[in-house]
Amino acid sequence: MTTPARPGQFTGATDNAADGGLFTDTLIDGIPDIVGADVLAAETAAANAKTSETNAATSATNAATSATSAAASATAAATSETNAANSATAAAGSASSVAADAATATTKAAEASTSATNAAASQTAAANSATSAASSATSATGSANSATTSASAAANSATASASSATASANSATAAATSETNAATSATNSANSATASANSATASAGSASTATTQANNAATSASTASTQATNAGNSATAAASSATDAQGSEDEAEAWAQKTNGEAVTGEGYSAKAWATGGTGVDHTSGAGNAKDWATETTTTADNTEYSAKEYAIGTQSGNTNGSAKQWALGGGNSFAIATPVTGSGGSALYSAKYWADQAASSVANFDEKYYGNYADDAAAENAHEAAGKTVTVGDLYYNTTLNAVRYCQVAPSGTGAPVGTWQSIAQQDLSSYATNGFAIAMSIAL
């Protein structure tokens, strides 16, 4: 028995019965070749669909990578925002430190500005990633369309094969399977395109978020700049306050211790000038410093009056009223008891010591004249002479026997037995004189 020719050979391979051909008609014998060609086309379409599927997967991967890049860009933008917020916080803290922190606030503002620039760059990168994802999605969509076209061609080829011969049913079935697989690949490609489109949308959303974060970072940078400006203004105000404080300090110092003129022109002199002396205060009429008023003993305190010390112990000749010490001890620079404190001759006035001495002398003189109480003349004379004193005319004593004051009329000669003559002072009869009341009445009347 002749071996039948294998299907799939080129046209003419089975048109001879002697060679095992089933048909003698060349057109009929060419059907297997046609079916084989259709199968090959279906296989090719399936391969193309597989390639499209791979391309779509690659596009999806690229879209995922783009999405990841966009997410990274968004993260970078968020980090930039955080940095800007930190910079703003640092700038706000710097405002309370006035002048010294103003520079720090400015630096933070610069950092915030840099962060804003970085965020803008991240936004641009995210936008580029979104564009790439969109391009990948477009490519995936084109691949899916190619796969769909290939699937349609395969379906047409399968239909032609089915119409050509029942014998090519298996090939047609295989082509249908290829068609199904191609359709599945097309579906997968479409899904990949959809995923890519979603990734593109997500990337666009990330880009939008990055834009928002960049705007926030710019706002933070602006806020930081405002805070830096406020800190600068605070520093300026502080410097102005410091200047005012320095002026007040200088004026206070002048009022406290300036001694070469008025503390403030036209307003008066310092406490130190009034206390210890200074230009315009020392020995000035109506002025004089406290120290001079207390201790000056060489001149006046204010060109008119003398100091407390001068009035207490001074010896200046210009002080014609004399000091307390002179009035106590004696006049002149040596406080001599016999020197008058003021005046001379009949108008001379002496110290208290001088008059005390005079009083003591008077008492001594009185003791010379009045002997005290004795029983008789002899006892009085003997006691006086025993004291080393001399009995003279006019001496007195009180005679306790006669209850009368006696005076010496004739001084005794020598000592011992009394030879002097003593006479009692007779009591006068005052009965004929005016009474006290009458005398007072007459005085008032006169």
pLDDT at residue number 363:
81
pLDDT at residue number 325:
95
Which range, of 25-39, 354-368, 383-397, averages the lowest pLDDT?
25-39
**How far, in Å, CA of 47 to CA of 151, rounded?**
11
**How far, in Å, CA of 390 to CA of 55, rounded?**
166
pLDDT at residue number 38:
67
- For residues 392 and 408, is the Cβ–Cβ distance under 8 A? yes
Is 41 a residue whose pLDDT tops 60? yes
pLDDT at residue number 46:
75
Mean local confidence (pLDDT), 71-97: 58
Percent share of the chain, pLDDT over 70: 60
User: Where residue 169 falls among pLDDT bands split at 50, 70, 90?
Assistant: very low
Mean local confidence (pLDDT), 21-29: 50
Is 231 a residue whose pLDDT tops 60? yes
Give the chain as a 3 state SS string: CCCCCCCCCCCCCCCCHHHCCCCCCHHHHCHHHHHHHHHHHHHHHHHHHHHHHHHHHHHHHHHHHHHHHHHHHHHHHHHHHHHHHHHHHHHHHHHCCHHHHHHHHHHHHHHHHHHHHHHHHHHHHHHHHHHHHHHHHHHHHHHHHHHHHHHHHHHHHHHHHHHHCHHHHHHHHHHHHHHHHHHHHHHHHHHHHHHHHHHHHHHHHHHHHHHHHHHHHHHHHHHHHHHHHHHHHHHHHHHHHHHHHHHHHHHHHHHHHCCCCCCECCCECCHHHHHHCCCCCCCCCCCCCHHHHHHCCCCCCCCCCCCHHHHHHCCCCCCCCCCHHHHHHCECCCCECCCCCECCHHHCECCHHHHHHHHHHHHHHHHHHEEEEECCHHHHHHHHHHCCCCCCCCCEEEECCCCEEEEEEECCCCCCCCCCEEEECCCCCCCCCCCHHHHHHHHHHC
Is 65 a residue whose pLDDT tops 80? no
Q: Which of 122-136, 164-178, 186-200, 302-316 has the highest mean pLDDT?
A: 302-316
pLDDT digits (tens, 9 = 90+) for 90-131: 535 643 553 464 465 357 556 746 755 775 675 576 467 546
pLDDT digits (tens, 9 = 90+) for 306-352: 999 999 999 897 888 899 999 999 999 999 998 999 998 889 999 99
Segments making up each domain of the chain, as ranges = 17-244, 358-426
pLDDT at residue number 153:
57
Which range, of 83-92, 220-229, 285-294, 404-413, averages the lowest pLDDT?
83-92
Which range, of 171-175, 199-203, 232-236, 392-396, averages the lowest pLDDT?
171-175
Mean local confidence (pLDDT), 265-271: 94
Mean local confidence (pLDDT), 4-33: 52
pLDDT at residue number 154:
42
Q: Quick check: pTM over 0.85?
A: no
Is 61 a residue whose pLDDT tops 80? yes
pLDDT at residue number 141:
58
Pick the more confident residue, 444 or 302: 302
CA angle in degrees (0–180, nearest 5) for 405-411-413: 140
Pick the more confident residue, 332 or 443: 332
**How far, in Å, CA of 315 to CA of 331, rounded?**
8
pLDDT at residue number 254:
95
pLDDT at residue number 126:
46
Q: What is the mean pLDDT of the chain?
A: 75
Place of tokens 């999806």: 60
pLDDT at residue number 340:
94
- Spatial CB neighbours of 51, under 8 Å, sequence gap ≥ 6: none
Mean local confidence (pLDDT), 186-201: 66
pLDDT at residue number 59:
66
- For residues 90 and 111, is the Cβ–Cβ distance under 8 A? no
Pick the more confident residue, 403 or 362: 403
Pick the more confident residue, 295 or 162: 295
Is 251 a residue whose pLDDT tops 70? yes
User: Where residue 82 falls among pLDDT bands split at 50, 70, 90?
Assistant: confident
